[in-house]
Amino acid sequence: MNRSATLSRSVSLFQAFLHEQDDPERFYSVLAADSVAQLSRWVDLSGTTVLDVGGGPGYFADAFRGAGARYVGLEPDAGEMAARGEPEPGTLRASGEELPIRTGAVDVCYSSNVLEHVRRPWTMADEMVRVTKPGGTVFLSFTPWFSPWGGHETAPWHYLGGHRARRRYRKRMGAEPKNKFGESLFATSAGAALKWARACPDAELVAALPRYHPWWATWVARVPGLREFASWNIVLVLRKHG
């Protein structure tokens, strides 16, 4: 039980989350530091090679390097890669559904808030396991569709349907949302993620928890139905079979 996951930590994360779109540097720097601390529960990052699938412009690079890891970012969208100016040196432009990495090449395969943006999420998840070394760690987090932020900037209207929420946003704002339901945003569930993880032949599920919650609320991830909206963001940690 990780008792460092306190209520004050959760409050800080949610406060930073409110600025995801208007001040992404602030949000992602807080999340990056927290992610390294959270991941360190399962693996000593010093000396490891970490692949960040969907790492965007490299918000997490400094935090992982600060922990002693060799960081490799991967991002399919050229615009996202350059969101902070110059792309992070060494970042690969490729799809998470077809990683250009040899099998068993990285110690840690990490992905944060990407799976809900992938048309074939379990193909990406399988690829993450494939490129991880035997005994290595896969850390996969995403926002379930029925969470309060499942529709991203179209929330909470996504509860009435993704396409309807997208049309409403377009009508009110005069432009498409950044995350377009059916194109760059999909209805991905925590239950489906757990089903995939438990059936994965090449890795063992070692943890499933609500990412931003304090330690005493980790039980939320174990309750079908409730976890879809109360977890907000869910984390799966897998260990690849040796």
Residues of the chain with pLDDT under 70: 1-4, 82-83, 85
Q: According to the model, what pLDDT value does residue 25 have?
A: 77
Q: What is the pTM of this model?
A: 0.92
Q: According to the model, what pLDDT value does residue 1 have?
A: 55
Going by DSSP bridges, is the β-strand pair 234-240/132-142 parallel, antiparallel, or unpaired? Answer: antiparallel
| Residues 35-84: tens digit of each pLDDT | 999 999 999 999 999 999 998 878 889 999 999 999 999 998 877 776 67
CA distances to 58, 76, 93, 198 from 211, in Å: 20, 24, 27, 19
Q: According to the model, what pLDDT value does residue 151 have?
A: 97
Residue 64 identity (one-letter amino acid) = F
φ, ψ for residue 209 (rounded to 5)? Answer: -155, 155
Q: According to the model, what pLDDT value does residue 28 have?
A: 82
φ, ψ for residue 12 (rounded to 5)? Answer: -60, -40
Tokens of 120: 């074939």
Q: According to the model, what pLDDT value does residue 88 have?
A: 74
